[in-house]
Amino acid sequence: MVLAIVGAVVAAMVLLELLRLIIGDLYEWMASHAKVKGEIQEIKRTTEKLVAANRENGRLRDQRTAVRFRQSTDLQRLEKECEQFEQRRVEVWHRLGEAPAKGLSLYVAEINNNALRNGVVSGINAICPLWRHVNRARIWARNDRDARTSLQQEFALADGFSIDNLRQAAQPTAAPAAGKATLGQTVPAPGPAFEAGLGMPSTPPTPSDGRFTAAPPAGADVSKAGARPVPGLTRPTSR
């Protein structure tokens, strides 16, 4: 009986000693666990805020990119419209051939050269600036084939020129009596009224605020009217 009591007391003392050694570590572990758990929650909240901020920044960046793209597109469209307006603002007429003879008809055509036009737009000073505008030619010929052949001799395809919209000029309806003749009468050569029916001015250009207000007179050399020579051309571009 005494031995049992002594054994129980010794066991209790050993247990208390173990608890004294373990409880401190247990409390320290519990405190460390709570601290780590709090740090984990703080990191989680910080990560969520960072993800939300990155998402908002991405949305704003995409919005700014879309605005810049739209503005760039509008700017390119406006530049193209301005270039087309500047191109159509002045019409340059090339008058080819001599005074009309019997059996000849008047033909008009558009003269295009993309290389010269792009060179003028790019700022190449060696190219005549008139090529950035609308260039048209009038020529007297027996038929459209002869007219096209004569135009191709003046504006060669090898030099990058193209003859477009070749057509016979229509007689003006404002003066029908001028185009009629009876037996024994001579039909007069078309004059300013006929050219006015084609939309072609009959007076020479007068420079006002730096622009041509009329086409050059017949027989005038366009390249000499304050323009620079066109490179790569072996023939005059107008007569």
Collapsing DSSP states into helix, strand and coil, what is residue 63? helix
Least confident of 17-26, 58-67, 105-114: 17-26
* Token pair in block for residue 108: 């008009």
pLDDT, residue 211, reads 38
pLDDT, residue 189, reads 42
The Cβ of residue 44 has, within 10 Å, a number of other Cβ atoms equal to 10
Q: How far apart are CA 55 and CA 188, in angstroms?
A: 81
Question: Is pLDDT above 90 for 91?
Answer: no
Question: Is pLDDT above 80 for 168?
Answer: yes
Kindly report, residue by residue over 57-78, the tens digit of the pLDDT: 999 999 999 999 999 999 999 9
Kindly report, residue by residue over 184-221, the tens digit of the pLDDT: 333 344 444 444 444 444 444 443 343 333 444 444 44
pTM here? 0.42
pLDDT, residue 121, reads 67
Q: Beta 162-168 vs 105-112: how paired, if at all?
A: antiparallel
pLDDT, residue 33, reads 84
Mean pLDDT of the chain: 72
Most confident among 57-71, 81-95, 131-145 (mean pLDDT): 57-71
pLDDT band at 169 (very low <50, low <70, confident <90, very high): confident
What is the mean predicted confidence (pLDDT) over 148-164?
A: 88
**Side-chain-side CA neighbours of residue 151 (13 Å):** 29
Question: Is pLDDT above 70 for 239?
Answer: no
Q: How far apart are CA 151 and CA 109, in angstroms?
A: 9
Residue 221 phi, psi dihedral angles, 5° rounding: -90, 115
